[in-house]
């Protein structure tokens, strides 16, 4: 029995997304859905989290996305297309909807509360083999400052950077998802990198001044 279970688990891992989706649609197969989630949950969540920079809201949006995925799968998902691209579209639209709603009511600068995000961020970081505590601290600071700099980018540039990073999405697909031309998407990526570089430079100068004062 145990062997059978193990074989089934292994075979689910070998299946393509398309087949897992088919199992889930036809039989409400929990194992197939779990496998799909295991494959993509971190990327989807990271994208939403990096766009929103608020853990509670990111959780809500993440849950909302999967509610939509399950309810719409029978009607709107075409099995010929990539499942993850379809889910990503839903995640992107939900995130952008939220940001636009927020823009109407809240000051844009309050999206990112550095202290808040830093503590939560390390709570749920994926395990990595860090050598020692010092390195961990330095690595963590770099990553959190990176998150802070990305959060400062204009929404369009942030979207392109995160879609590219988490999904390795070709620019053609990014352009389609964001309803712009490929050149515009490429241009946004370029400006995002230029802006990030500027932020990193400012941070370095700031640190240098602090060090000199001491």
How far apart, in whole angstroms, are the C-alpha atoms of residue 156 and residue 129? 34
Would you count residue 14 as binding other proteins (CB under 8 A)? Answer: no
Annotate 91-110 with b (16+ C-beta within 10 A) or e (fewer): bbebbeebbeebeeeeeeee
Nearer to other proteins, 74 or 115 (CB): 74
Would you count residue 49 as binding other proteins (CB under 8 A)? Answer: yes
The dihedral formed by the CA atoms of 71, 73, 76 and 79, expressed in degrees to the nearest 10: 180
Nearer to other proteins, 13 or 124 (CB): 124
Would you count residue 11 as binding other proteins (CB under 8 A)? Answer: no
How far apart, in whole angstroms, are the C-alpha atoms of residue 20 and residue 214? 59
Considering only 106, 108, 125, 137, the residue that binds other proteins (CB under 8 A) is: 125
Asked whether the beta carbons of 120 and 132 are under 8 A apart, the reply is: no
Stretch that binds other proteins, among 9-17, 85-93, 99-107, 117-125 (CB under 8 A): 117-125
Considering only 76, 110, 119, 183, the residue that binds other proteins (CB under 8 A) is: 183
Would you count residue 124 as binding other proteins (CB under 8 A)? Answer: yes
What is the nearest approach in angstroms of other proteins to the Cβ of residue 71? 6
Would you count residue 148 as binding other proteins (CB under 8 A)? Answer: no
Asked whether the beta carbons of 156 and 188 are under 8 A apart, the reply is: yes
| CA max distance for the chain | 68
Stretch that binds other proteins, among 88-96, 105-113, 129-137, 196-204 (CB under 8 A): 196-204
Nearer to other proteins, 42 or 103 (CB): 42
Asked whether the beta carbons of 26 and 32 are under 8 A apart, the reply is: no
Q: What angle do CA 176, 40, 57 make, to 5 degrees?
A: 80
- How many residues contact other proteins, by CB under 8 A? 52
Considering only 7, 42, 82, 97, the residue that binds other proteins (CB under 8 A) is: 42
What is the contact mask toward other proteins in residues 68 to 87, using x (rule: CB under 8 A)? -xxx-xx-------------
């Amino acid at each position: 029995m145990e062997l059978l279970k193990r074989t089934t688990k292994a075979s689910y891992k070998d299946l393509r997304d398309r087949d897992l989706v088919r199992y889930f649609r036809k039989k409400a197969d929990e194992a197939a859905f779990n496998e799909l989630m295991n494959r993509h949950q971190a990327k989807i969540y990271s994208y939403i989290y990096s766009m929103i920079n608020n853990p509670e809201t990111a959780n809500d949006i993440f849950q909302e996305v999967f509610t939509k995925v399950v309810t719409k799968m029978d009607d709107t998902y075409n099995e010929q297309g990539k499942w993850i691209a379809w889910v990503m579209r839903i995640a992107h639209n939900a995130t952008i909807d939220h940001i636009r709603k927020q823009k109407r009511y809240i000051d844009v600068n309050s999206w990112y509360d550095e202290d808040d995000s830093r503590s939560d961020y390390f709570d749920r970081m994926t395990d990595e083999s860090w050598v020692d505590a010092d390195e961990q601290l330095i690595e963590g600071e770099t990553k959190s400052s990176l998150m802070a700099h990305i959060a400062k980018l204009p929404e369009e540039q942030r979207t392109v950077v995160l879609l590219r990073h988490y999904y390795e999405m070709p620019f053609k697909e990014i352009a389609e998802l964001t309803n712009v031309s490929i050149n515009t998407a490429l241009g946004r990526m370029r400006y995002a990198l230029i802006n990030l570089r500027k932020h990193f430079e400012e941070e370095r100068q700031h640190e240098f001044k602090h060090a000199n004062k001491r």
